[in-house]
């Protein structure tokens, strides 16, 4: 499902759009007694990030945080937290 999330870093507002997939809880057994399935965690895959109506996706694809993680990975986690609230 396509979803939009607004994130703030300092005074800057980032409009993030992407595909959100809800968490699917685990199921031990099916009603007919067959084995169930494991949990599938929620996911958010960023499609675009804009600031002031301008896409900055290309810029963010090559940015990393101070500890070396990709900034888009951090943004995906923040988006999931905002959606789940």
In the chain, where the domains are located? 2-84
pLDDT at 84: 79
Please give the Cα distance from 61 to 72 (Å, whole number). 7
DSSP-derived secondary structure for the chain: -EEEEEEEETTEEEEEEEEEE--B--EEE-TTS-EEE--B--EEEEEEEEETTEE-HHHHTT-B-TTS-BHHHHHHHHHHHHHH-
| pLDDT band of 1, cuts 50, 70, 90 | confident
Per-residue pLDDT of 28-78, as tens digits, reads 999 999 999 999 999 999 999 999 999 999 999 888 878 888 889 999 999
pTM (2 decimals)?
0.78
């Amino acid at each position: 499902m396509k979803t939009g999330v607004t994130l703030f870093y300092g005074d800057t507002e980032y409009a993030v759009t992407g595909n959100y997939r809800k968490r699917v809880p685990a199921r031990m057994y099916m009603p007919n007694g067959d084995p169930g399935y494991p949990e599938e965690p929620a996911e958010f895959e960023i499609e675009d990030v804009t600031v002031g109506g301008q896409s900055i996706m290309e810029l963010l694809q090559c940015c990393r945080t101070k500890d070396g993680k990709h900034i888009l990975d951090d943004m995906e986690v923040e988006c999931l937290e905002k959606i789940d609230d």
